[in-house]
A = this chain, B = another copy of it.
């Protein structure tokens, strides 16, 4: 049975400000490739032998962007009238699956995966447990003591190389992250999931019945226009807002992690993008019109205005529209404050 990709496009667009904005968040930008993050996500699951047409869950304000960037006429586009975090978004998708037992591959639309073969191999490894009713999360093998990610402590070995989840760990401080790396058996929580639609809905009925009821009601009163589905606004507004991790994964019984090393990043900051980008001989990563004299280690990303720098090192310079941001590399977690 073909896997149904569920692509979550709810990102708000604050962490890569001023390039990403609420009107055009990160997933709709071409940051690491000619294709946008959203297009790269679609392309990863475009093989018709393995994957059915995707279900895309997006902010209704981005309907035009979605349609411009998705060529698949069979894609189902679920337009959320308001944001209610990931658990309800995935509930809408699970309720839209034509087969109740459809296997859903739930993915954020704005992550980088450099080793797509490893991603597919992990999915294949997880399928037997998923078919047997487990909820599987992808555990990214850590490459450093990142403090910007949640972690998963892995427990007993299961079949296919999967492991049970001992516990989920919130974003740690550096000491805690370093300790987990030294300890081993921890992975990053990548926000990617594989499970049967009916298993997820069953878990919701146990752990978040109000959420399931609201999602049902919103879908029952949804408006349809071609392949666009807009859940009823009032019903969906009454849905509790929660993440799949909090609402389901931390509470459900048969939860497994599939460990995978796949060159993954959530591109959650300009610093993360600097790490991903190609650099010149002196470590400058340049996108757009720029002139560099005696300057090293800078990230320049400009959409129009030309940036001329001399004698400055390790800066992040981002120009977009009527805004230009200048901060040192290593401090890009603080960009949010400028975005509002």
Contacts and interface: CB of A to CB of B under 8 A. Distances in A.
Interface of A: 18, 291, 293, 304-312, 315, 317, 319, 322-328, 331, 334, 337-338
29 contacts: A18-B308, A293-B337, A293-B338, A304-B322, A305-B319, A305-B322, A305-B323, A305-B324, A306-B322, A306-B323, A307-B324, A308-B323, A308-B324, A308-B325, A308-B326, A308-B338, A309-B327, A310-B331, A310-B338, A311-B328, A311-B331, A311-B334, A312-B315, A312-B326, A312-B327, A312-B328, A317-B324, A319-B324, A326-B326
A304 B304 CA distance: 14
A16 to B, nearest CB: 13
Contacts of A328: 311-312
A18 B305 CA distance: 12
A125 to B, nearest CB: 44
Q: Interface residues of A: mostly helix, strand, loop or mixed? A: strand
A61 to B, nearest CB: 23
Interchain residue pairs A-B with the least CB separation, the first 6: A308-B338, A309-B326, A310-B327, A311-B331, A308-B325, A311-B328
Contacts of A325: 308-309
Contacts of A306: 322-324
Contacts of A323: 305-306, 308
Contacts of A324: 305-308, 317, 319, 324
Given A309-B327, A324-B324, A328-B311, A334 B293 contact: yes
Nearest to A332: B310
A334 B294 CA distance: 11
Nearest to A317: B326
A263 to B, nearest CB: 29
A306 to B, nearest CB: 5
Nearest to A298: B326
A59 to B, nearest CB: 25
